[in-house]
A and B are shown apart, each in its own frame.
Chain A
Amino acid sequence: MSGKALSNSDRRSVPAGAGVGLRAPHHLIVMSEAPRVAWFEAHTENYFADGGPHVYAMEKIRANYPLSLHGVGLSLGSTDPLNREHLKKVSRAVKRFEPALVSEHVSWSSVGGKYANDLLPLPYTEEALRHVCGRIAEVQDVLGRQILVENVSSYLEFANSGMTEWEFVAGVAAESGCGILLDVNNIYVASCNHDFDPLHYLNAIAAQTVQEFHLAGHSRISIEGREVLIDTHSTRVCDAVWELYGSAVRRFGKVPTLIEWDTDIPALDVLLEEADKADAVGASVNAVAA
């Protein structure tokens, strides 16, 4: 990255290489040293402010890098009316920073006006599928663009689910016209927690719907003698997830891949190393395919 401002056409797309999650502790180094990284993704809510240092940093960084805005607070799957105030702020951030990609989650976090501020899984039912598709349509209408939705990590399954998570996620994309942000770590975490083959998940998703991958580290805890994987974004990507990522690239091709790290955030160099590794895995898969 030369630090030179991007052209308009470069701003409108995110390259198929690896990007990293932009977090406040790295604002200064990214602004001053313009590190070599293909693109950045930021949590939309962190840039809701009217002004001030975060908005300033984002405007500076945005001028030099392709950007994706990734929401965590819209509560897409909630049965409450869509939070129009929150959506208005998302819409303002999208207009202000002109991200090439905009994404949210296949999950819910609130009901009755109260928020858990966490990504809770949905029951995988026809009712939930119709509901989420309707909400995605509302959001896409307001924003005037397609959004991507991300599969979440989960620690429980609902007894009334009539389909698998991968059938549900594939159905959401097919019926709402949104794209999929496939979080490879989340698939791995869910597959360990709920005893399924993660390759079944990958194979169920239509190839053309996946427009972005997420990679992150997770932690392990023990509950009543049984290991549970927790999606903490607090460590490097583990070997099993790198392997699954290779399978994902083989199936879906090279799409923008994000390294996420949200807890115990390390020096930016650590994230850049992980991004280089993602690029190397992507290149090796392509080389084999060729």
Chain B
Amino acid sequence: MPSLRDLQVDVLKAVLSAEDGRAARLVVARGIPAMRRLGIYANNARVNFHESLQASFPAVLRLVGEEYFHQCAREYQKRYPSTCGDLQYTGTRLPDYLAELHVNDEFRYLGDVARLEWLRQETLISADHRPLDFEKLAAIAPSEYAELRFRLHPSARLFDSEYPCWNIWQANVASDGEPEIIDLATGPDRLLLIRRTLQIEAHRLSHGERSFLIAVREGEGFERAVEDGVNCDSEFSAAAALQRFVLAGAIVDLE
């Protein structure tokens, strides 16, 4: 009699890769071959996995069509099977997987679109945070600004791509009609994604603003963050950036 452990190892192999037949001897056939019975679970595992990917990557699905999406999902599931009981995380590695798969072909932007969709999902489930307390900012003496460390909203995510992914995403999920043709040369995209109340907002960033926000995210002081902004964008304005990101709800605290 197999141990519970051995039984589970063999059954899961059969469920996740239907070609493994060792589990058949463990199952009572009763009018239906054991592998067909196991196949019902294999089908459930595949459908549940694919549906979770479809929910996380609607634009990718629309761009490549159902047949290719499911073909990719099957291969992706073989390489990266689910490793937790919460299906929301099955797509963690899909952006990199698609980017590797389409390095230099007609779908070379697909990995980036997938990454944008994944960041949207992260933005959607992040913790809430109150907006910045302006009195706290007003109480800081200008001489102390250099060392100030700002904190970003937990939902804030930075996205960049050489392709116009935001327009591609919008064209493919905002309407059911035929999506408009988007010229891949109309990138690059530099975006700040943030959840305000319950909606995701996307803000386009200059090169300097992006560098500034990366430094803030990494916990650098204000002076250093401003330097990073100016170093890659001579027109970067610290005052304008601070105002913009406080009003956008991206900067929520300081210390």
Residue from the list A56, A110, A116, A155 in contact with B37, Cβ < 8 A: A155
Q: Closest residue to B81 on the A side, CB-wise?
A: A114
Residue from the list B12, B38, B48 in contact with A111, Cβ < 8 A: B12
CA–CA, A127 and B32, complex, Å:
27
Chain A contacts with B in 192-245, Cβ cutoff 8 A: 194-195, 223-224, 226, 228, 230
**B16 on the A face (CB < 8 A):** yes
B3 contacts which chain A residues (CB < 8 A)? 127
| CB pair A50 B154 closer than 8 Å | yes
Q: Closest residue to B6 on the A side, CB-wise?
A: A79
Q: Closest residue to B1 on the A side, CB-wise?
A: A160
Q: Closest residue to A231 on the B side, CB-wise?
A: B44
| CB pair A52 B198 closer than 8 Å | yes
Residue from the list B11, B30, B126, B195 in contact with A157, Cβ < 8 A: B30
| CB pair B81 A115 closer than 8 Å | yes
Q: Knowing A45-B85, A51-B128, A158-B7 touch, does A114 contact B26 (C-beta < 8 A)?
A: no
**A112 on the B face (CB < 8 A):** yes
Q: How many interface residues does chain A have, given as a range? A: 35 or more
Chain B contacts with A in 85-101, Cβ cutoff 8 A: 85-88, 90
Q: Closest residue to B55 on the A side, CB-wise?
A: A24
**B137 on the A face (CB < 8 A):** no
**B181 on the A face (CB < 8 A):** no
User: Which residue, A71, A85, A116, has most C-beta atoms of chain B within 10 A?
Assistant: A116
In the complex, what's the smallest C-beta–C-beta distance from B75 to chain A, in angstroms? 16
Total interface residues in chain B, CB < 8 Å: 49
**A109 on the B face (CB < 8 A):** yes
A110 contacts which chain B residues (CB < 8 A)? 12, 85
Chain B contacts with A in 41-63, Cβ cutoff 8 A: 41, 44-45, 48-49, 52
In the complex, what's the smallest C-beta–C-beta distance from A94 to chain B, in angstroms? 15
B88 contacts which chain A residues (CB < 8 A)? 45, 48
**B193 on the A face (CB < 8 A):** no
A224 contacts which chain B residues (CB < 8 A)? 31-33, 36
In the complex, what's the smallest C-beta–C-beta distance from A138 to chain B, in angstroms? 15
**A128 on the B face (CB < 8 A):** yes
| CB pair B86 A108 closer than 8 Å | no
| CB pair A86 B84 closer than 8 Å | yes
In the complex, what's the smallest C-beta–C-beta distance from A48 to chain B, in angstroms? 6
A195 contacts which chain B residues (CB < 8 A)? 30
CA–CA, A118 and B39, complex, Å:
13
Residue from the list B38, B85, B127 in contact with A117, Cβ < 8 A: B85
B27 contacts which chain A residues (CB < 8 A)? 156-159
**B83 on the A face (CB < 8 A):** yes
Residue from the list B9, B38, B52, B126 in contact with A156, Cβ < 8 A: B38
| CB pair A74 B85 closer than 8 Å | yes
B28 contacts which chain A residues (CB < 8 A)? 156-159
| CB pair A226 B126 closer than 8 Å | no
Q: Knowing A50-B125, A52-B125 touch, does A111 contact B9 (C-beta < 8 A)?
A: yes
In the complex, per-residue mask of B1-37: 1 if CB is within 8 Å of any chain A CB, else 0? 1111101110110011000000001111011111011
Residue from the list B5, B48, B90 in contact with A118, Cβ < 8 A: B48
In the complex, per-residue mask of A40-51: 1 if CB is within 8 Å of any chain B CB, else 0? 000001001111
Q: Closest residue to A160 on the B side, CB-wise?
A: B1
Residue from the list B2, B44, B85 in contact with A115, Cβ < 8 A: B85
B84 contacts which chain A residues (CB < 8 A)? 73, 83, 85-86, 115
A159 contacts which chain B residues (CB < 8 A)? 25-28
CA–CA, A235 and B30, complex, Å:
27
A56 contacts which chain B residues (CB < 8 A)? 198
Q: Closest residue to B83 on the A side, CB-wise?
A: A113
| CB pair B31 A226 closer than 8 Å | yes
A230 contacts which chain B residues (CB < 8 A)? 40
B2 contacts which chain A residues (CB < 8 A)? 160
CA–CA, A226 and B125, complex, Å:
44
Q: Knowing A50-B126, A157-B28 touch, does A117 contact B87 (C-beta < 8 A)?
A: yes
CA–CA, A122 and B11, complex, Å:
11
**A266 on the B face (CB < 8 A):** no
7 contacts between A and B (CB under 8 A): A45-B85, A50-B127, A52-B128, A89-B86, A112-B12, A117-B85, A120-B11
Which B residues fall within an 8 A CB radius of A? 1-5, 7-9, 11-12, 15-16, 25-28, 30-34, 36-38, 40-41, 44-45, 48-49, 52, 81-88, 90, 124-128, 154-155, 195, 198
